[in-house]
Amino acid sequence: MAPVPYRVRSRIVESPDSATLCLTPVGAAVRAPEPGEFMMLYAFGVGEAAISISGDPTVTDGSITHTVRAVGKVSSALRDAEPGTIVGVRGPFGTTWGLDAAAGRDLVMVAGGVGLCPLRPAVLGALAQRARYRKLTLIVGARSRADFVFAAQLEKWAQDPQIELHVTVDVPVQGWRGEVGLVTEPLRRLTLDPDHTTAFLCGPEPMLRFGADALVAKGIAARDIRVSLERNMQCGIGWCGHCQLGPLLLCRDGPVVGYDLAGPLLRVKEL
């Protein structure tokens, strides 16, 4: 429960409300996180928040990377932390995307808005071991062009023959030549092999439901669809109960959960 001090090594502004922080340990380092896990980050004098890992899992220098969207006092303080700032780190916590279990299969990854942040380590991990997987498809959606995170990397992936990339916006602006509409539109157009496809989805809950249901309609089993869920995580270890979703405590049983389990829970409005 005690945070470990880390120093902000670099800060990159990703969008009007998001920035990527690279943190390095002041002393002893925490365990290297895996794609899908999260950390509890402490802004001293402000508070603590659960932030997903967004860095490259192949980096082994002891640093950890988070992309923080400002939605409240704690996340705003973390988003605005300049290089040299000390923050507290606990973790890593939670479940992973399960990249190893998806070896030998097609991978379909769907990100809505800042949902690309928790998915980015999975994309980078799959590209680093590209021979382990069959077809790799990434669909990324945002409200507008200005809302995309990792814009430069998206441009790089668009030119990479190892990955099929679809980028779509809800509201096009002059000069936009990409796709327009929700992420479910390119998803429905995909030709998939239902028996050999694993899907990872991260974004707003309506997007998760509609995206996962579109995949189920294509014959993909709900157990082969993994979604990253978000609730109010305050302890990270299943003690406080703030992140409860039905029988789940998402800091312990999530955030990445199979849609066979998550789907029925997401349809209950009270949850």
Calculate the CA 195 to chain-centre distance: 25
Extents of the domains making up the chain = 4-93, 99-228
Q: Is 117 annotated as a binding residue?
A: no
Question: What phi and psi, each to the nearest 5 degrees, are found at residue 266?
Answer: -70, -15
pLDDT 10s digits, 151-178: 999 999 999 999 999 999 988 777 777 7
CATH H-level superfamily of 4-93: Translation factors (2.40.30.10)
Q: Is 235 annotated as a binding residue?
A: yes
Does 204 sit behind a cis peptide bond, omega within 30 degrees of 0 on the bond before it?
no
pLDDT 10s digits, 2-11: 999 999 999 9
Say which CATH class 99-228 falls into. alpha beta
Return the percent helix, strand and coil in the chain, to nearest 5. Answer: 30, 30, 40
Grade residue 57 by pLDDT with cuts at 50, 70 and 90: very high
Identical fold, 4-93 and 99-228 = no
- Average pLDDT rounded to a whole number, residues 124-148: 94
Cα dihedral 150→98→187→219 (10° resolution): 180
Q: How far apart (Å, rounded) are the C-alpha atoms in residues 183 and 185?
A: 5
